[in-house]
Amino acid sequence: MDKRDLLIVFLSQFDLSSKKMSEIMDTMKEQTIKCFSKTKFAENILKKETYESMIASADEALVQTYLKNLADRDISVLTIYSDEYPNRLREQKDAPLILYCKGDVSLLNKECLSVVGTRKPSSYGKMATEKLVRDVAGAGVVIVSGLAYGIDSIAHRCALECGGKTIAVLGGGFDHIYPTEHQSLADEIARKGLLISEQRPKKLSSKYLFPLRNRIIAGISQATLITEASIKSGTIHTKDFALEYGNDVYAVPGNIDSSSSELTNEVIKTGQGKCVTCGKDILDDYEINLDKQVVQIELQPDEEKIVNLLKDGMKKIDFLTKNSGLDINNFNTCLTMLEIRGIISRLPGGTIALK
């Protein structure tokens, strides 16, 4: 990191918005921590107590120690000047100056689709999300969402289950995963995909941070898919950011009597987005061939037993149960997971086949 990057890291520790950080940096003749500590230009921009606290700790050595402590926790830091910073997001006027990351940062510049929607999905919304994410993630597109209840977590889990990649954008810092019930999901995403946040690790989640998070979700993606959401849903912020950034918006049509489909139906009706009913509708826009799976799906040993029995053709469930050697509960669990991941299909007459 150069001295300008270190200044950004320093400023980020004081919960300043990217807009405020930019305002400070724009007034500096030399964008360094040393310059900040020796001038009083920021005194009129910041609250007195914040300014005094910053001056007292404006030391490059302290920032280097902070970065080392983060690295020891497998947290990397990207500034807007870093090569790995997402190019699509960098182009936006409200791009965050810093991103804290846990996982594979190379995903930030791959083909990304954000998948968003209601926190309380219907069975239809859940099914539609799983179907579309399975198709798109299976073709190698990175799924981006916000780790919230409902559509967000369904999208993340489905991407992981089908062997794909996913990015979770947090509202708060890594030390305060919200909701707390999604800590294990966040840990899995950090291992197999990427967690990112504009906020320092110790920053608590707060309601005002979620629209800021939503701009990042839209900003790192080429397009945004809304599978189910009401007009009052926070999803509308992500949709608006996507349109502002010139990105495509896709929406799944829903029941005209369902409030959970108000936003998706409105997006389609007003021409703000395209109607989609399968992953191919999205993939065709990006010239990605759905039939050319680029993701190698890793099977669990028990799942592999079932798949091996199906390699020479479709089989009855009774045959699979008897010859897999699995107890009925484990067998049913494996069968469900294989179906969710798009590896098998259930056919009429209790028959199972590989897709």
| HEC letters along the chain | CCHHHHHHHHHHCCCCCHHHHHHHHHCCCCCCHHHHHHCCHHHHCCCHHHHHHHHHCCCHHHHHHHHHHHHHCCCEEEECCCCCCCHHHHCCCCCCCEEEEEECHHHHHCCEEEEEECCCCCHHHHHHHHHHHHHHHHCCCEEEECCCCCHHHHHHHHHHHCCCCEEEEECCCCCCCCCHHHHHHHHHHHHHCEEEECCCCCCCCCCCHHHHHHHHHHHCCCEEEEEECCCCCCHHHHHHHHHHCCCEEEECCCCCCCHHHHHHHHHHHCCCCEECCCHHHHHHHHCCCCCCCCCCCCCCHHHHHHHHHHCCCCEEHHHHHHHHCCCHHHHHHHHHHHHHCCCEEEECCCEEEEC
Task: Report d(CA 303, CA 228) in Å as an integer.
Answer: 31
Smallest CA-to-CA distance from 112 within 194, 30, 23, 16 is with 194
> For the chain, first and last CA: distance in Å?
48
Select the more confidently predicted residue: 296 or 352: 352
Contacts of 137 (CB under 8 A, 6+ apart): 143, 158, 159, 162, 163, 164, 165, 166, 295
Which residue has 């606290």 as its token pair? 53
**Single pTM value for the model:** 0.80
Q: Is the pLDDT of residue 121 over 90?
A: yes
23 vs 142: which has the higher pLDDT: 142
CA distance 251 to 242: 13
Least-confidence region, from 95-99, 189-193, 313-317, 322-326: 313-317
Alpha-carbon gap, residue 327 to 166, rounded angstroms: 32
Tell me if 18 sits within 8 A of 96, measured CB to CB.
yes
CATH number for the segment(s) 105-286: 3.40.50.450
Closest to 45 (Cα-Cα) out of 26, 23, 73? 23
Q: For the segment 262-282, what is each residue's pLDDT rounded down to a tens digit?
A: 999 999 999 999 999 999 899
pLDDT at 83 over 50: yes
Question: At residue 173, what is the residue type?
Answer: G
User: Does pLDDT of 291 surpass 60?
Assistant: no
Is residue 117 left, alpha or beta, with left meaning phi > 0 and alpha meaning psi from -120 to 50? left
Flag whether pLDDT at 294 surpasses 60.
no
- CA-CA-CA-CA torsion sign (276, 261, 117, 123): negative
* CATH no. for 301-354: 1.10.10.10
Q: What are the boundaries of each domain within the chain?
A: 3-72, 105-286, 301-354
Query: pLDDT tens digits, residue range 145-163?
Result: 999 999 999 999 999 999 9
Give residue 288's pLDDT.
56
